[in-house]
């Protein structure tokens, strides 16, 4: 496979995957924080 072609696909797909992963993780973190905050202080 042509090196330029491979680099183009690799950069595009890995960047989008990394960004999507960050968005999902941030969503989970915020949802967890919301649940904790709604639960109130621990005894």
Partner 1 sequence: MKGTATTLTRVLGFCALVTLAGTVVLGLWTTPPDVVQGELVRLIYIHPAIATMGEVAFGVTALASLLYLWRRTRDRRWDLLAGVSAEVGVVFASLTLVTGSIWGRPTWGVWWTWDARLTTTALLLALFLGYLALRRVPGEAGSRATRSAIGGLVAAVDVPIVHYSVNWWRTLHQGSTLLRRKPLIHGVQLEAMLLGFVAFALIYAWLVVHRYRVEDLATRLEDRGFETALAERRAEADELLEVVS
- The residues binding partner 1 (CB under 8 A) are 1-2, 4-5, 7-9, 11-13, 15-16, 19-20, 23-24, 26-28, 30-31, 33-34, 36-37, 41-42
Spatial distance between the Cα atoms of 36 and 30, rounded to a whole number of angstroms: 10
Distance of CA 8 to the CA centre of its chain: 21
DSSP code at position 13: H
- The minimum distance between CB 11 and partner 1, in angstroms, equals 6
- The minimum distance between CB 4 and partner 1, in angstroms, equals 5
- The minimum distance between CB 34 and partner 1, in angstroms, equals 6
Nearest to 33 by CA among 43, 25, 13: 25
């Amino acid at each position: 496979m042509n090196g330029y072609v491979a680099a183009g696909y690799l950069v595009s797909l890995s960047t989008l995957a990394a960004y999507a992963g960050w968005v999902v993780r941030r969503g989970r973190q915020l949802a967890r924080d919301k649940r904790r905050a709604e639960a109130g202080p621990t005894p």
